[in-house]
Amino acid sequence: MRRHGRGPELRFIAFACLAFIASGCANLTAIREFASTSSDAAQYSQLVVAYVDTPSRMKRYEPESQRATLDRQVAERKAQQERLLLRQKLIQEYMDALGQLAGDELTVYDKELDALGNAAKAAKFVDQGEATAFAAVSKVLVLAVTDRWRQGKLVSLIEQTDGPFQVVVGALVKVVEQEFAADIANEREALNKYYTGLERQGRDAAGLAALAEWREVREGQIKGHEVAIRNYAVVLKTIAVGHHKLYESRHHLSRPEVQAEIHQYTKRLKEAFNALAAL
Amino acid sequence: MPPLTSDDALALSKSYRDLSVAIGDFRFKNWNTLSEADRKALEEKEWALLNASSDMVTKAVGLTLDESDAAAKKVQGAAATAEKAVKTLKEVRKVITIAAAAVGLAAAIASKDPGAIAKNSKAVLDAATS
């Protein structure tokens, strides 16, 4: 009876397999998973928000005489926020599209693609090479949507974008690893000046003990921020290396050894992303 | 003059931070022998330099960098010389003079005035080597 009971189920699986083979689609599950994890991890925006808010946090430590300077810095950094997030948005949208094509789905039109395209035209990048790369990736994304690309165009997508994609991700890695790190080093020094000054002036033992506890709390927050910077840099670098692996293996994407290797990148991404989420 | 690059801005940021740290170390090390007024004067310069460092980080991150070149290497050289001098000096007047010159240099860079940058770089070097 049991055997008879499983008949329809087995027939369904056999039919699904036949349909899959007949459609000419390869099973690119590992690539879909890599793309989806990359998309999720890339959109971690807390570091950008923290960078923009640094001058506001510095007000805790700095004397009133520096207030006007800090207010100006707040305004300048707020003006940078949207364009900083744009790089992350591009990586996220691109990885979404890559995952959809790997799953033989139509890439979903997102209104933000227009915004990305316009921003690519309007934004003045420090590096003209990055501006060109940003525009190139967003152009391919728009093309994938408007020309209704499917899995057959996956190789083309990877081929056309790997070069500019590496430039865009590389630029973001530099911002995170060097510039956000420099920013947090300044905050650490501000904390040091503030608390060391108070400790030098303090006479009351209980007050000094409370001060030491506060200092420890603030230092812990900065340390968490530094760990986040390191982990997000790992996320970005893993996305870049994984994508380049896809580019190198683009004609053999369905091979088990390629899928196994891509799976390793996904695993590394998840580890770094989970560490970020735990902060 | 070539434009200030992101790497230049980042290097200047580090120079300002290092100088601010060195002046702070001097203030804390000599806390008991410094007058209240001297401590305050030094501290004001430290914050001004640390904020100048943050300004350079903003420039490094910024997507538009069209400022004229600050002769970045020369400025970094002046800041490094000042930092080295602050680390070895014992005389608070000299440290305050160097700090004031360094703050002037940071302001000159913010004003994007090549003449003022050159003049203030020289002032920092003079203060640090006199």
Distance from CA of B61 to the nearest CA of A (A): 6
Please write the tens of the pLDDT for every residue from B79-108. 888 888 888 888 899 999 999 998 998 888
Distance CA(A174)–CA(B33), nearest Å, equals 43
Distance from CA of B58 to the nearest CA of A (A): 7
Inside any domain, residue B1 = no
pTM for this predicted structure: 0.84
Q: Please answer yes or no on whether B5 and A189 come within 8 Å at the CB atom.
A: no
DSSP designation for B89: -
Distance from CA of B115 to the nearest CA of A (A): 23
Give the Cβ contact number of residue A81 at 10 Å. Answer: 15
Distance CA(A158)–CA(A244), nearest Å, equals 9
Distance CA(B60)–CA(A175), nearest Å, equals 8
* Average pLDDT over all residues of chain B: 85
Centroid of chain to Cα B58: 16
Q: What is the pLDDT of residue A19?
A: 43
Q: Please answer yes or no on whether A66 and B20 come within 8 Å at the CB atom.
A: no
Closest CA to A131 of A161, A167, A77: A167
Please write the tens of the pLDDT for every residue from A91-140. 998 999 999 888 887 777 566 666 666 666 665 565 677 778 888 888 88
Contact with chain B for residue A55, Cβ under 8 A: yes
Pick from A38-47, A125-134, A234-243: least confident: A125-134
Q: Please answer yes or no on whether B58 and A58 come within 8 Å at the CB atom.
A: no
Q: What is the pLDDT of residue A67?
A: 97
Mutate to test the interface with B, among A189, A194, A229 (most CBs of B within 10 A): A189
Residues 191-210 of chain A whose Cβ lies under 8 A from any Cβ of chain B:
192-193, 196-197, 200
Q: What is the pLDDT of residue A16?
A: 42
Q: What is the pLDDT of residue A123?
A: 59
What confidence category does residue B68 fall into, taking pLDDT thresholds of 50, 70 and 90?
Answer: very low
Average pLDDT value for residue range A220-236: 96
Centroid of chain to Cα B84: 12
Sign of the C-alpha dihedral computed for residues B103, B108, B114 and B119 taken in this order: negative
- State how far the alpha carbon of A245 is from the alpha carbons of A34, A159, A255, B17, B122, in Å: 12, 11, 13, 40, 51
Average pLDDT value for residue range B116-130: 85
Helix (H) and strand (E) counts for chain B?
A: 5, 0
Distance CA(A227)–CA(A221), nearest Å, equals 10
Judging by beta carbons within 10 Å of its beta carbon (0-12, 13-18, 19+), is residue A156 exposed, middle or buried? Answer: middle
User: Which of B10, B20, B21 shows the shortest C-beta gap to A182?
Assistant: B10
Q: Give the position of tokens 């190789």.
A: A155
Distance CA(B130)–CA(B128), nearest Å, equals 6
Q: What is the pLDDT of residue A75?
A: 95
Report chain B residues whose CB lies below 8 A from the CB of A66.
Answer: 47-48, 51
What confidence category does residue A12 fall into, taking pLDDT thresholds of 50, 70 and 90?
Answer: very low
What confidence category does residue A151 fall into, taking pLDDT thresholds of 50, 70 and 90?
Answer: confident
Q: Please answer yes or no on whether B5 and A70 come within 8 Å at the CB atom.
A: no
- State how far the alpha carbon of A63 is from the alpha carbons of A277, B32, B40, B45, B48, in Å: 34, 21, 10, 11, 10
Residue of A nearest to B13 (CA): A182
Q: Please answer yes or no on whether B58 and A73 come within 8 Å at the CB atom.
A: yes
Report chain B residues whose CB lies below 8 A from the CB of A51.
Answer: 61
Contact with chain A for residue B18, Cβ under 8 A: no
Distance from CA of A217 to the nearest CA of B (A): 22
| Cβ pair B6, A127 in contact under 8 A | yes
Centroid of chain to Cα A82: 15
Distance CA(A52)–CA(A110), nearest Å, equals 27
Higher pLDDT, B116 or B35: B35
Q: Please answer yes or no on whether A124 and B61 come within 8 Å at the CB atom.
A: no
Contact with chain B for residue A216, Cβ under 8 A: no
Please write the tens of the pLDDT for every residue from A163-175. 999 999 998 999 9
Inside any domain, residue B28 = yes
- Quick check: helix, strand or coil at residue A124? coil
Q: Please answer yes or no on whether B60 and A182 come within 8 Å at the CB atom.
A: yes
- B46 Cβ neighbours under 8 A, 6+ residues apart: A193, B20, B23, B24, B27, B99
Q: Please answer yes or no on whether A179 and B57 come within 8 Å at the CB atom.
A: yes
Distance spanning both ends of chain A, measured CA to CA: 53
- State how far the alpha carbon of A176 is from the alpha carbons of A226, A258, B7, in Å: 10, 30, 14
Closest CA to A89 of A138, A143, A32, A124: A138
Residue type, B63: L
Report chain A residues whose CB lies below 8 A from the CB of B6.
Answer: 126-127, 174, 179
* Average pLDDT over all residues of chain A: 86
Distance CA(B15)–CA(B49), nearest Å, equals 9
Q: What is the pLDDT of residue A210?
A: 95
Pick from A18-22, A27-31, A135-139: least confident: A18-22
Q: What is the pLDDT of residue A133?
A: 84
Q: What is the pLDDT of residue B65?
A: 42
Q: What is the pLDDT of residue A7?
A: 57
Pick from A7-16, B103-112, B115-124: least confident: A7-16
Return contacts of A151-155, CB within 8 angstroms, 24+ apart.
A151/A25, A151/A26, A151/A28, A151/A101, A151/A102, A151/A103, A151/A104, A152/A24, A153/A101, A154/A28, A154/A31, A154/A98, A154/A101, A154/A102, A154/A253, A155/A250, A155/A251, A155/A253
Give the Cβ contact number of residue A104 at 10 Å. Answer: 18
Higher pLDDT, B76 or A180: A180
Report chain B residues whose CB lies below 8 A from the CB of A196.
Answer: 24, 28
**What residues make up the domain containing B16?**
6-129
Please write the tens of the pLDDT for every residue from B14-49. 999 999 999 999 999 999 999 999 999 999 999 999
Number of domains in chain B: 1
Q: What is the pLDDT of residue B2?
A: 53
Q: What is the pLDDT of residue A117?
A: 65
Contact with chain A for residue B48, Cβ under 8 A: yes
Q: What is the pLDDT of residue B118?
A: 83
Helix (H) and strand (E) counts for chain A?
A: 10, 0
Mutate to test the interface with B, among A193, A195, A201 (most CBs of B within 10 A): A193
- Quick check: helix, strand or coil at residue B130? coil
With both helix axes pointing from N to C terminus, report the angle between A46-58 and A67-102 in degrees, rounded to the nearest 10: 180
Q: What is the pLDDT of residue B67?
A: 45
Distance CA(A200)–CA(A221), nearest Å, equals 23
Residue of B nearest to A178 (CA): B10
Q: What is the pLDDT of residue A31?
A: 94
Report chain B residues whose CB lies below 8 A from the CB of A81.
Answer: none
Pick from A143-147, A183-187, B52-56: least confident: A143-147
Q: What is the pLDDT of residue A141?
A: 83
